[in-house]
Amino acid sequence: MEVDPFSAPGKFWRGNLHTHSTRSDGVLDPEEVASRYQLEGYDFLALTDHFVGLYDYPLTNIQSSANENFTTILGAELHTGAMENGEIWHLVAVGLPKNFMPPDAPDFQPRSDQETAAKIAGRARDAGAFVVVAHPEWSQMSLADAASIKAAHAVEVYNHGCYAGCDRGYGFHVYEQLLLTGQKILLCATDDAHFNEPDHFGGWVMVKAIENSQSAILTALKEGSYYSSTGPDFHNVIWSDNQVDVSTSEISTIILQGKGTRTVVRHGTSMTHNTLPFEKLMPSPWLRLTIVDGAGKRAWTNPVWRTSLDS
């Protein structure tokens, strides 16, 4: 992370970065999707319909659903080019401009002369979007595939729709392989909601920003000033030279992870504060935290890089 969300000014805002409507293959119209997220207590939503010709390349605008308590962000799920397995790419771009140029992607079939995924990811990032490699496990993505998207800010390590619909909801293997190559990349949890199955309100980000506005949320996302969750909350995380102090909602497990197989773990009942030493993780260039509550729900911090701890 470039910014420590727990010491940054502002407050945490809950939001979903990956959602669909009737503008593509979702079953609810855009305004109903926005209404349901607001009623569920979300502070912001990016509606990311599939950006292909089959749906007339939608950039679904739900600004009419925004109000002083609820922010909407323009985005899309981008598709172009083929992965190593022959499937078309899926990339989420949150914060796209209204005039973002579509690729030549008439449907979900990759074509040899299409713009590459790496190029469209770069175009999206240059246009101001927060770019995410979507559902690596569901896509059966190779490490070489993931490593080719140099413009990505983050990887979906949890996708609730893929978890609910086909038990392929995680992305940690690909994600940590990228970390092992030295790539400083963030992680995120999303819904990928279509509302045709229990694929909604299951994965989200908690973004620390000074206000609940599109510009503030996007800036915080790009800086890594957020954590991801399927249930529990981080209240505070304080890193020092050789330990980390963590305050949370009630949890049963906390894990400190880094490069390699070594971890530091604590188990208990209704724990809300833990101090974890990380001497045995000292060789790792990065450290991150996982917490698990009594229902098995999880939350994850973005990695903190040792260079920032030592400075």
- My answer on whether 112 and 183 are in the same domain is yes
How many separate domains does the chain show? Answer: 2
Can you give the residue range of the structural domain that contains 50?
11-226
The CA-based dihedral angle spanning residues 133, 76, 233, 286, taken in that order and rounded to the nearest 10 degrees: 30
CA distance linking residue 93 with residue 162, whole number of Å: 18
In the chain, the N- to C-terminal Cα span, in Å, equals 14
Give the residue carrying structure tokens 């209404």.
Answer: 35
- My answer on whether 103 and 242 are in the same domain is no
- My answer on whether 28 and 175 are in the same domain is yes
- My answer on whether 126 and 258 are in the same domain is no
Q: What is the CATH number of the domain that holds 211?
A: 3.20.20.140
- My answer on whether 121 and 201 are in the same domain is yes
In sequence order, which residues have a C-beta less than 8 Å from that of residue 169 and are 6 or more positions away? 135, 137, 138, 158, 159, 160, 161, 162, 163
Query: Is residue 1, in this structure, part of any structural domain at all?
Result: no
| pLDDT of 308 higher than 70 | no
Query: Is residue 22, in this structure, part of any structural domain at all?
Result: yes
pLDDT tens for each residue of 158-180: 999 999 999 999 999 999 999 99
Query: Is residue 122, in this structure, part of any structural domain at all?
Result: yes
CA distances for 124 relative to 14, 98, 231, angstroms = 23, 12, 30
**Between vectors from CA 200 to CA 195 and to CA 204, what angle results, nearest 5°?**
145
| Model pLDDT, residue 31 | 97
Q: 303 falls in which pLDDT band (50, 70, 90)?
A: very high
CA distance linking residue 149 with residue 84, whole number of Å: 13
CA distances for 285 relative to 2, 18, 38, 260, 265, angstroms = 14, 30, 39, 11, 19
- My answer on whether 105 and 220 are in the same domain is yes
* Single pTM value for the model: 0.96
Query: Is residue 2, in this structure, part of any structural domain at all?
Result: no
| pLDDT of 2 higher than 90 | no
CA distances for 74 relative to 12, 59, 215, angstroms = 20, 7, 11
Closest CA to 257 of 175, 163, 148: 175
pLDDT tens for each residue of 213-266: 999 999 999 999 999 999 999 999 999 989 999 999 999 999 999 999 989 999
Query: Is residue 5, in this structure, part of any structural domain at all?
Result: no
Q: Considering 174, 198, 226, which residue would you say is the last residue of a domain?
A: 226
- My answer on whether 102 and 203 are in the same domain is yes
pLDDT tens for each residue of 114-160: 999 999 999 999 999 999 999 999 999 999 999 999 999 999 999 99
Q: Considering 207, 226, 245, which residue would you say is the last residue of a domain?
A: 226
CA distance linking residue 229 with residue 232, whole number of Å: 6
| pLDDT of 106 higher than 90 | yes
Query: Is residue 4, in this structure, part of any structural domain at all?
Result: no
| Model pLDDT, residue 310 | 54
| pLDDT of 307 higher than 80 | no
CA distance linking residue 111 with residue 134, whole number of Å: 20
- My answer on whether 166 and 219 are in the same domain is yes
CA distance linking residue 272 with residue 270, whole number of Å: 6
Query: Is residue 6, in this structure, part of any structural domain at all?
Result: no
- My answer on whether 134 and 15 are in the same domain is yes
Q: Which two tokens stand for residue 276?
A: 């974890």
- My answer on whether 221 and 238 are in the same domain is no
- My answer on whether 174 and 251 are in the same domain is no
**Between vectors from CA 172 to CA 166 and to CA 178, what angle results, nearest 5°?**
130
Q: 306 falls in which pLDDT band (50, 70, 90)?
A: confident
Helical H segments across 57-199, by residue range: 117-126, 136-139, 143-147, 160-166, 172-180
Closest CA to 199 of 190, 187, 211: 190
- My answer on whether 131 and 239 are in the same domain is no
Q: 1 falls in which pLDDT band (50, 70, 90)?
A: low
Q: Considering 226, 244, 262, which residue would you say is the last residue of a domain?
A: 226
SS3 content of the chain, % helix, strand, coil (to 5): 20, 35, 45
In this predicted structure, which of 14-23, 55-64, 276-285 has the lowest mean pLDDT? 276-285
pLDDT tens for each residue of 11-32: 999 999 999 999 999 999 999 9
Query: Is residue 126, in this structure, part of any structural domain at all?
Result: yes
Q: What is the CATH number of the domain that holds 285?
A: 2.60.40
